[in-house]
Amino acid sequence: TVFNSLNHDMTLAEFKFIWYMEYSHRMWGRVVGLAYILPAAYFWHRGWLSHPLKGRVLALCGLVCFQGLLGWYMVKSGLEEKPDSYDIPRVSQYRLAAHLGSALVLYSASLWTGLSLLLPQHKLPETHQLLRLKQYAHGTTALIFLTALSGAFVAGLDAGLVYNSFPKMGERWIPDDLLAFSPVLRNIFENPTTVQFDHRILGIASVTAVTALYLFSRKIPLPRRTRMAVTSLLAVACMQ
């Protein structure tokens, strides 16, 4: 179906390139799963895991398996026959967003667990400014996560191909077809123009939030490690 609808002029060498990319991704995912589960089973058997850490390890291993299941579920949506549709075959943007979101949660949880074991936690006085900084940091994290998920909808709908000008979209700041679908809520997830517009707004909001977080952190006496983390966050946000 994909060959007849989209890639009827593809050569065998081009097909092999795409096939090996997909195959490598699947194999790498299985290697990641083994890298989690085998050492976890060994450490558990040796009694090297504390009771709280056992819960984290089980959750991480379960999330690895869930991530693989989501990947299969996502790819399956791109292989389903749709006799009433003449659109280019593609995976569901909803499943793609779920697969990406699960990967981000898995990566963040793994990094958090590793750093909490390797680095001692700073004992800082719970001042009003520090509590506000924590709240801002958590809010910025949620905003970045939402921005990344919106990127999955852009990829799933090929929404990046709709407008290629910035900051305007074509000749307008707000496109005419922003709310072309009915009901209105459907535009947020299925209208390529709206999806690209939302992703742009969320991206700008994320960079603004990270910059504000950095500027606010400069007013608070923080450990060197924390300052390095906030500065690195700003640098990566600007590069992104």
pLDDT one-digit tens code per residue, 13-40:
988 998 899 899 999 999 999 999 999 9
Contacts 24+ apart (CB under 8 A), 196-202: 196/154, 196/159, 196/160, 196/162, 196/163, 196/169, 197/169, 198/150, 199/147, 199/150, 199/151, 199/153, 199/154, 199/159, 200/166, 200/167, 200/169, 202/143, 202/146, 202/147, 202/150
Token pair for 175? 């496109």
pLDDT at 238 over 90: yes
pLDDT at 8 over 90: no
Q: For 3, how many CA atoms within 13 A lie in the half-sphere containing its CB? A: 6
Q: Is the previous residue joined to 167 through a cis bond, with omega within 30 degrees of 0? A: yes
The answer, as to whether pTM is greater than 0.75, is yes
Q: What is the three-class DSSP state of 172?
A: strand
Per-residue model confidence (pLDDT) at position 14: 87
Per-domain boundaries in the chain: 1-119, 120-239
Q: How far is CA 240 from the centre of its chain?
A: 13
- Percent of the chain beyond pLDDT 90? 70
Per-residue model confidence (pLDDT) at position 95: 93
Taking 3-state DSSP, the helix, strand and coil percentages for the chain, each rounded to the nearest 5, stand at 75, 0, 25
Angle at 145 between CA 71 and CA 231, to 5 degrees: 125
Concatenating the DSSP letter of every residue in 63-124 gives: HHHHHHHHHHHHHHHHHS--TT--SPP---HHHHHHHHHHHHHHHHHHHHHHHHHHSPPP--
Per-residue model confidence (pLDDT) at position 27: 94
- For 134-182, the pLDDT digits (tens) are 999 999 999 999 999 999 999 999 998 899 999 999 889 999 989 989 8
Could you identify the residue written with the tokens 């002029």? 9
Name the average pLDDT for the chain: 90
Could you identify the residue written with the tokens 């398996």? 65
- Do the beta carbons of residue 65 and residue 29 sit within 8 Å? no
pLDDT at 217 over 70: yes
- Say which residues have a Cβ less than 8 Å from residue 216's Cβ, sequence separation at least 6: 132, 133, 136
